[in-house]
Amino acid sequence: MKQLTDQKVNDYLTHLGKFGHLENGGVTRLVYDDDWVAAMAFVLDDARRRGFKTAIDSYGNGFMSFPGKKSQQIVAAGSHLDTVNQAGLYDGAYGVAAAILAMNELVDQYGQPNQTMTSVAFSEEEGSRFPTSFSGSKHYAGVQETDPTLRDKQGITFSQARKLAVSQLADRFPIVEQPLPSEFFEVHIEQGPVLEEKGLPIGIVSAICEQKRFTVTVHGQANHAGTTPQHLRKDALKAAVRLIERLDEQAQKIGEPLVFTVGELTVAPGSANVIPGTVTFSVDVRHPEQAVVDRFENFLRAQAVVAPLVRVDVDRWMDSRPAVMDSRLVHQFEQLVTQKGLNYLKLPSGAGHDTQIMNLKVPTAMLFVPSKNGISHSPAEYTAPADLRAGIDVLKAQLYQECYE
């Protein structure tokens, strides 16, 4: 019986993964492309066959509902249907599948819910086609409309792509702007190694991290690497190296769950025999508490000022506030997981998710399931069937509490 059940979510994800399938086993399904339209049509058609009422909104977000007996209040769950380039089968897709399968099973077992249950397949979260992200949840939550003039690499505007894709779905599904739910749930692969390392099947997200990104530019002086004595150098790279070391020491002092990454670094002029004149590097820092990230920023700016011999510019270009999950819903998740005899970890999410947008308007809670080797955004993305099932079971129990009791 367990075996059969496990197969269900696998089959769903394998089928969904055919839309945008790559020869290497991965998936590329960018918002509003042909594969995306086919995937959204599949998800909605399949849900309609399962008894859901289906609709899309003007952004192509997919909505699949079981209307409640008692109230207009909507309990929603879901994730996004788009992928990064060269993605795996799980990121986003699993959260859509989990919501649909959980609600489908609840109605099969317990009949019509008291509250309306809605599965949501968001149009876009990854930012992999247009230079924007979370456009689907931002529209649904009424947080922000996307600039219609944004262009993809082919020069197609967001507006053109959106209208074409929505028109292709509109003959089969009504276009209806949706009211906000009263609460929102998302299950997602962890995309990190923590649950696997600890051997735990479930993570309960405490908060989605505050995240800041900076571009740091160190201005030194380019010079001949052979003829300029050490004491007369203004070596931008050595100054950058020292600064990064200080930042890393600070990161270690603060300790986990803070993460600090320098992912980009370029050297100019960039010749083996020329002392670097300018070094530019990125700083990405995340922590569930805004105050901690603010302190790290202050440290960075203070270090920049005192760097000897060079001038350091610090430009902050991303500052996303932390999204703290709803304490009641989190506590309920903890109880439900424990009742199922499962162990769990409460942990912050270092990655961004649609939930952080929904969290701006409604109470939210979020589950993680383990990612093999912590890998995501890769065809090698994998979560064991039993873990996929556990995530659905816990979501199902939560939805039962919220929609039936």
Beta bridge partners, 119, equal: 64, 77
Greatest Cα-to-Cα distance within the chain, rounded to the nearest angstrom: 83
Q: How far apart are alpha carbons 60 and 121 in whole angstroms?
A: 9
Q: Would you say 38 or 274 has its CB closer to its own copies?
A: 274
Q: Structure tokens of 316?
A: 């902050």
Minimal distance, residue 344 CB to its own copies, in Å: 17
CB of 347 to its own copies, least distance (A): 9
Tokens 């019986």 belong to which residue?
1
Q: Which of 356, 327, 328, 329 is nearest to 141 (CA)?
A: 356
As measured in angstroms, the least distance from the Cβ of 371 to its own copies is 8
The CB-of-220 to its own copies minimum distance in angstroms stands at 12
Q: Which is nearer to its own copies, 161 or 200 (CB)?
A: 200
Residues at the contact surface with its own copies, assessed by CB under 8 A: 190-194, 197, 209, 211, 213, 223-232, 235, 237-238, 241-242, 244-245, 248, 251-252, 256-267, 270-276, 282, 284, 286, 349-352, 374-377
- Nearest-approach distance from CB 85 to its own copies, in angstroms: 12
Q: Between residues 205 and 390, which has the closer beta carbon with respect to its own copies?
A: 205
Query: Which one, 116 or 280, has the nearer CB to its own copies?
Result: 280
**What is the spatial distance between Cα 114 and Cα 75, in angstroms, rounded to a whole number?**
10
CB of 296 to its own copies, least distance (A): 13
Structure tokens at 271: 């010749």
* Residue 256 and residue 194 in contact, taking contact as beta carbons nearer than 8 Å: no
Rounded Cα distance, 170 and 174, in Å: 6
Q: Which is nearer to its own copies, 169 or 258 (CB)?
A: 258
Task: Check: CB of residue 80 under 8 Å from CB of residue 52.
Answer: no
Token pair of 172 as six digits: 């089969």
Within its chain, how far is the Cα of 383 from the centroid? 16
Q: In the complex with its own copies, which residue's Cβ is closer, 65 or 383? A: 383
* 348 close to 169: Cβ distance less than 8 angstroms: no
